[in-house]
Structure 1
């Protein structure tokens, strides 16, 4: 039997899937009613390319105020100091973070921006990591995700961790910070938002996002949970051995 490197589950649906930023924008722009104020939240998992999201999507919307949640979060030095205990001094192993994104947003700045968004006369798009902290009841909640494997590839290519200016740092240390810190926060946030997501956008392929409705995503997960399934594997070199050429990808 040939080992299946790309397992999949087929789901039949009449809903369409949007592929590429043109289609994603066209679909989301249908929900923007220019005759009244609306708040759109574009929540992004740590590792999603915020610059790409801004340049390829957010900038296309007209007559809206744009806010990036990451600009309100604590700076890199403060975040790194706060998670020192979780990171430990070991190159690979750390302690699982019990924190949430809210712990890394100054209370006063967060409350001020929340009020500012509510009082704004124009429609508002808030995008970035923990964007949902700035509005608990948006008119549209869009979640931008990315696979862990793609995040690790981007770490190797020079991407920094969330709120860390570390593009050239040892990749194992980047993986450690992701695994023990930012992915824990990202998972908790996604879990809390999951039932309210209106659209889910996968950004694992640069420049080619794939978007489905939240209802279709939830239906797919329910179907997956009702049958045996296997997640997509990946094979990687690590401190405990293994090489990429051991498996023909």
Structure 2
């Protein structure tokens, strides 16, 4: 195993940002007091808008102690009673289903009680002198802010707080609920509502407050944050990866990425899922963490390109993540919903098409993909149901093709195709962004990390299987569909997918010398799949050279245009390879 050089804390340096950020509650309060004092009003309103999951009471307590406002208001006190909130969101929670709901169209004002809101506004209006402090999700709904602070929260940290029983869902105190059900409610309701509220506020932020680490609060000037976002879309960048164990998890990432050796395993890494990952902004030596989706919200056209933005809006449509089964077990035997299924049943407008690129493979590595010829669908459904009911294990090899997998193989998985990565595989998953819409049909009789059987959605799965995707069709359409496209001095380019039913195009470049690239007006996502280091450069010097290391995923915004990639450091004189994905337009 090579020595790890993988950077787990990449950041975007904010130009001129050295003095635009302070750390610690004393400095935060002092900076806010100065901003409030600069407003020409006898009753300045300091509103701290909070993303769901932020520790609102802690923020309120720290600021109240230091700033001594004339009035303190919790925005949550003006919300509907918890039972009314539960009734409001119930239609989107999928009943007893542990995983799936329906993406809601609710807006934040619907969570507020008209009488409570009126009383809160009247209390604010009665204050004649001195600052008013409003804290919470929807703070600016109570009163227009003279100074607006946005306390954001990384999705990953929100998930950790669910697991630690630290927070409830939006508008309710339900910490006793399982973290999985809290996540489901956040995914289908809370985060949709909060993102709709946040989008138009970004342009108005006077300050951004980072309390992802509650022990070290950081306050950055809003204009400096926006300057950092504008800067990010002019050059390649990386988001902050996160890692999680899995029932089938392996050991490869632990070594390759220098992770905690005491952990039992790591199964997942989200390396480019902007809805879930964070973006670190560098203010001198200080790093401020914001959700990377904020960049998509604030700079969608420059990041995605006109054609991609026209199709997807302010959503990032490409997902890169890792699945590690080296020394672990098989993933679940599964299928993803067809487009009409995900639209009608879950409210998503495009589906979870994907692919497995083999970043590495051990002896005996394999991928289940497509059905065997002559499969009796009734017999397969019966065997799946019996296995799920505690009967004999499902004989996957009887019904599905099992393809040997080698390093750099690429398996294409359009929705509706049965599939499963086997053990001894290190998969770079290159896919459309939807990421929780997996219909597990068989999980090999094992328990999840919580000691319970993982949710199986057999009937959903059976309804979406494309039964005509059998051995010959799978071999001809989905396994290593490599097509040489061109070559130059020291490089060659191949098309590896994806399938025509999938909107993502993938290109592999092998190179020992500088290879030219061009975004052609659409966002590119790449991973260095071979070689120790490479450097990304602008032919015109539009951005500083950007170093990437083995297995790192990076984003090249549409606005970048032409760029080159060359071997660097220990890779000079050796052949490297990148996998690049972009949206077909």
TM-score, with normalisation over the residues of structure 1?
Answer: 0.91
- Checking the alignment, whether the CA contact within 8 Å between 1:146 and 1:202 is kept in structure 2 is yes
Segments of structure 2 that go 5 or more residues without pairing to the other structure are 260-585
What does 1:184-199 correspond to in 2, within 5 Å? 184-199=192-207
Change in Cα spacing, 1:51 to 1:115, as seen in structure 2 (3 Å) is: closer
Partner residue, 1:202? 210
Q: Which has the higher contact order (CA 8 A, sep 6+)?
A: 1
Cα separation, partners in 2 of 1:71 and 1:18, compared to 1, 3 Å: same
Instruction: Report the CA distance between 1:38 and its aligned residue.
Output: 1.0
Higher normalized strand content (fraction of residues): 2
Which of 190, 194, 215 is 1:182 aligned to? Answer: 190
Alpha-carbon distance change, 33 to 12 in structure 1, aligned in 2, over 3 angstroms: closer
Do the aligned residues in 2 keep the contact of 1:52 with 1:207 (CA within 8 Å)?
no
Alignment of 1:121-132 (within 5 A): 121-122=128-129, 123-132=131-140
What SS class does the counterpart of residue 49 from structure 2 fall into? strand
Residues 39-118 of structure 1: pairs in structure 2 closer than 5 A: 39-89=45-95, 90-118=97-125
Q: Determine if the alignment matches structure 1 residue 17 to structure 2 residue 25.
A: no
Which residue of 2 is the match for residue 26 of structure 1? 30
Q: What is the CA deviation profile of residues 103-139 of structure 1, one whole-angstrom value per residue up to 9, with x for unaligned ones?
A: 0101232234224323421331111111110113x21
Call closer, same or farther: CA 1:187–1:63 in 2, change over 3 Å.
closer
Contact 1:236–1:243 at 8 Å: present in 2 too? no
**Paired residues, what number?**
247
Higher Rg of the two aligned structures: 2
1:24-83 alpha-carbon deviations (Å, 9 max, x no partner): 011111123398211111111111001211222233222521111101101222111111
Q: Distance in 1 between matches of 2:242 and 2:84?
A: 34
Instruction: Report Cα offsets for 1:118-169 as digits up to 9, x if no partner.
Output: 3421331111111110113x21001111111111111111122222322232
For 2:92 and 2:158, the matched residues in 1 are separated by 20
TM-score (norm 2): 0.40
Change (3 A) 1:66 1:141: same
Measure the CA separation in 2 of the matches of 1:244 and 1:41: 46
Cα 1:228–1:119 change in 2 (3 A) is same
- Judged with a 3 Å threshold, the aligned counterparts in structure 2 of structure 1 residues 147 and 17 are, in CA distance, closer, same or farther, namely same
Equivalent position of 1:38 in the other structure: 44
1:134 is aligned to 142
Which has the larger helix fraction? Answer: 1
**Partner of residue 151, structure 1:** 158
Shift of 1:244: 9.2
Runs of 5+ consecutive residues of structure 1 not aligned to the other structure: none
Structure 1 residues 63 and 49, CA gap change in structure 2 (3 angstroms)? closer
Mapped partners of 1:152, 1:65: distance in 2: 32
Preserved contact between residue 235 and residue 244 of structure 1 (Cα < 8 Å): no
RMSD of aligned C-alpha atoms? 2.2
DSSP-derived class of the 1:228 partner: coil
Worse-matched range after superposition: 11-20 or 154-163: 11-20
